[in-house]
Amino acid sequence: MSRALIVDALSEDLSTLRMRDVSVGAPKAGEVKIRLRAASVNFPDILMVQGKYQLKPDLPFSPGMEGSGDVVAAGEGVTRVKLDDRVVVGARFGCYAEEIVVPEQTVRALPAGMDYAHGAAYPAAYLTAYVALVRRGELQRGETLLVHGAAGGVGLAAVDVGKLLGARVIATASTEEKRAFLKSYGADHVFAPSGFREDVKALTNGRGADLIYDPVGGDVFDESVRCIAFNGRLLVIGFTSGRIPSVNVNMPLIKGFSVVGVRAGEYGRQFPERGAENIRTIDAWAAEGKIRPHVCAQIPLERAPEALRMLQERRVIGKVVLTM
């Protein structure tokens, strides 16, 4: 038996999360069993508990899209990993647990020199940033990149990747504490998430941002439309503001910009070879120390509701990680 955080019923206030003893069976052919040491807390985990995410697991289930740990058993035919390997785990749910059984293709080596907490924290955020900026946004060295929600997990990853790729990075964040952190982290300019339009235009001599990375939506998206450059790309990452915005199509017509949707996981499923290349790239960057996932807190698994509420209340800078 091992412990897992289980959702028995959907709940808006996350009150239906309970620690349970669960039995995790032996892996079947092509599967591996992982003793998890850390799991990353992501915004879709909250939406899944609330029943608002596009993926709706059957009840009961354990949240958690990514984690890290050790291989403790392998089914017949497994060749990618072996017993005692330190690994990163990608799953659509199930990582808020001490043990998980997953297909071997969802497991890969923990980058050299990286601990479990940071190993759990980087994959989804940096894959999103890479697919958004490189594959969908085609960011070029010297371009101006505007990142919203920049102190959050996917936002901070975009700041990091943008700087690595040679962009001038403008970041927005909601509090003075977050904005001060972003300046120390390397963002070239940092503003509040409202009223940034004129600042961006002033910094670009009226031209606007070449690429805008928006996981926030709502009013932030609306204002972004007013400060994007001709031939700019406005990347739709998500809607943490709670409002899905819309745009009158005369705006992209007149201003000559594109609105581009980003789903990093689906991109890899649609284009498997490019998807594998994306993952190899961010793993290599992690092993070489070129990217810097920031873990602001490590919280024991049994206190997972506290970690989810930290994220829900926008009190997280970078990532918060559960430890087992």
Tell me the per-residue pLDDT of 139-169, one tens digit each, with 9 for 90 and over. 999 999 999 999 999 999 999 999 999 999 9
For β-strands 17-22 and 31-40, DSSP reports them as unpaired
Kindly state the tokens that stand for 82.
């072996």
- What band does 85 get if pLDDT is binned at 50, 70 and 90? very high
- Beta strands 168-172; 107-109: pairing state: unpaired
CA 199 to each of CA 74, 172, 189, 190, 196: distance values in angstroms, whole numbers, following the listed order: 55, 11, 10, 10, 5
Residue by residue, DSSP assigns 112-181 as TT--HHHHHHSHHHHHHHHIIIIIIS---TT-EEEESSTTSHHHHHHHHHHHHTT-EEEEE-SSHHHHHH
Distance CA 2, CA 275 (A): 33
Q: Residue 41: which residues within 8 A CB-CB, separation 6 or more? A: 304, 307, 308, 310, 311, 316, 319, 320, 321, 322
Q: What is the chain's alpha carbon radius of gyration, rounded to the nearest angstrom?
A: 20
> In CATH, what number does 124-266 get?
3.40.50.720
List strand residue ranges (DSSP E) for 160-257, in order.
168-172, 189-191, 209-214, 228-236
Contact 183, 204 (CB under 8 A): no
* Mean pLDDT confidence for 83-107: 96
Domain(s) labelled CATH 3.90.180.10 in the chain stretch across: 2-122+300-314
Q: What is the pLDDT of residues 8-43, one digit of tens each?
A: 999 999 999 999 999 999 999 999 999 999 999 999
Q: What is the pTM of this model?
A: 0.94
Question: What's the confidence (pLDDT) of residue 1?
Answer: 85
- Among residues 111, 123, 125, 34, the alpha carbon closest in space to that of 286 is found at 111
Question: Between 123-130 and 153-164, two packed helices, what is the crossing angle to 10 degrees?
Answer: 50
Whether the bond between 60 and the residue before it is cis, its omega within 30 degrees of 0, is yes
Task: Judge whether residue 230 has pLDDT over 90.
Answer: yes
In the predicted model, what is the mean pLDDT of the chain?
A: 96
State the pLDDT at residue 54: 86
Distance between CA 86 and CA 206 in Å, rounded? 50
Q: What is the pLDDT of residues 260-296, one digit of tens each?
A: 999 999 999 999 999 999 999 999 999 999 998 999 9
pLDDT score recorded for residue 242: 87
User: Could you count the other beta carbons within 10 Å of the beta carbon of residue 142?
Assistant: 10
- Token code pair at residue 157: 């990853």
- CB within 8 Å of 191: residues ≥ 6 apart: 170, 171, 172, 179, 199, 200
Place of tokens 């920031």: 294
Please answer whether residues 71 and 87 qualify as being in contact, where contact means their C-beta atoms are separated by less than 8 angstroms: yes
* Domain spanning 2-122+300-314, CATH class: alpha beta
Listed in order, the ranges of the chain carrying CATH 3.40.50.720 are 124-266
Angle 43-50/304-312 helices, nearest 10 degrees? 100
- What does the pLDDT look like over 186-201, one tens digit per residue? 999 999 999 999 999 9
Residue 150 to residues 194, 197, 285, Cα–Cα distance (Å): 13, 16, 20
β-strand 86-90 against 66-74: which pairing, if any?
A: antiparallel
Percent of the chain with pLDDT over 90: 97
